[in-house]
Amino acid sequence: MSSAGNELNWFKSSHSGSQGDSCVEVAYRPGAVHIRDSKEEDGPVLAVSPCAWEDFLGRAAR
C-alpha cells in the first residue's frame, strides 16, 4: 500500500465482529471512499466513488 493510506482517517464498521476478527475500516475523502481489512493495515485498499459506496450501503441495508 502506498504511504497515502497511512494519511487517511480510518473508521471501523459498527457491524464488525466484537472479537476483533471481522473488521472492516472505511476512510472518506472528497473523491473516494477507501475500504480495508483492519487486520492488515498495510494490506490492499479498495477505493470506490462516493456514489458507488452509497449505492452499496443502500443495497446492503435492504
Percent of the chain with pLDDT over 90: 50
Q: pLDDT grade, residue 35 (50/70/90)?
A: very high
Spatial strand order of the sheet with 11-12 comes to 11-12, 24-29, 32-37, 46-48
Q: What is the pLDDT of residue 15?
A: 67
Cell 450501503, residue located: 57
Write the secondary structure of 35-57 as one string of H (helix), E (strand) and C (coil). EEECCCCCCCCEEECHHHHHHHH
**5-9 mean pLDDT:** 75
20 φ/ψ sector (left φ>0, alpha ψ -120 to 50, else beta): left
Asked if the model's pLDDT at residue 14 lies above 50, the reply is: yes
